[in-house]
Amino acid sequence: MSFINYSSREINCKIVYYGPGLCGKTTNLQYIYAKTNPEAKGKMISLETETERTLFFDFLPLSMGLIRGFKTRFHLYTVPGQVFYDASRKLILKGVDGVVFVADSQVERMDANIESLENLRDNLAEQGYDLDKIPYVVQYNKRDLPNAVEGAYLREYLNPTSVPDFDATATTGEGVFDTLKAVAKQVLIELKRGR
């Protein structure tokens, strides 16, 4: 649910990065944070465990510029990927405007990817959203690793509806901004349609 403030002329939208544990959701946000001008970003918050695993969420507010005189802001959130944090994941999806599914390209993480994607669909449905109808993109992360699965195989299992998808290596930033731009664009197009 985006927030449109006619008084301060602002649009605020919420994008959630979803995916299995250790797929690189937090790394995506860290790269965006590192590469964004100080005036366009707020503080990045990470609620994590002592071992730096996401406990509740990461949060990064970004300003994207003006559209029809309105300041356009995106609030980026990650969910905790580990299976047992499902209750927290559901909470973070509340009011979401767009979703990025970050897949781990490593062959041994395929089952975890598929499980997480099904979990995303179920948790969205519980909040009254249909994954096939909301702004949604897929990112295949860790493309640089030697045990990465072929793109066609990932696509077949993780993107059967052929939404925009991107190869990425979040540690070096490859594909990170392409992914963000694609989902942000879809969110604005939805806003235009008056969803």
Asked if residue 185 binds another protein (CB under 8 A), the reply is yes
Among 33, 36, 95, 171, binds another protein (CB under 8 A): 95
Asked if residue 11 binds another protein (CB under 8 A), the reply is yes
Q: What is the DSSP letter of 81?
A: -
Asked if residue 36 binds another protein (CB under 8 A), the reply is no
Q: Where do the DSSP E strands lie in 26-69?
A: 45-48, 54-67
Q: In terms of CB distance, is 121 or 181 closer to another protein?
A: 181
Count residues near another protein (CB under 8 A).
44
86: exposed, middle or buried (Cβ count in 10 Å: 0-12, 13-18, 19+): middle
Cβ of residue 176: shortest distance to another protein, in angstroms? Answer: 14
> Is residue 134 a contact partner of residue 172, using CB atoms and an 8 Å limit?
no
For the packed helices 176-193 and 25-35, what is the interaxial angle rounded to 10 degrees?
A: 90
- Write the CB contacts of 166 (distance below 8 Å, at least 6 apart in sequence): 137, 138, 139, 140, 175, 178, 179, 182
Q: In terms of CB distance, is 12 or 171 closer to another protein?
A: 12
Asked if residue 35 binds another protein (CB under 8 A), the reply is no
69 Ramachandran zone, left/alpha/beta (phi>0; psi -120 to 50): left
Binding segment toward another protein, per CB under 8 A, in 31-39, 62-70, 111-119, 166-174: 62-70
List interacting residues with another protein (CB under 8 A). Answer: 1-8, 11-12, 14, 42-43, 45, 47, 56-57, 59, 61, 64-68, 70, 72, 75, 87-88, 90-92, 94-95, 181, 184-185, 188-189, 191-195
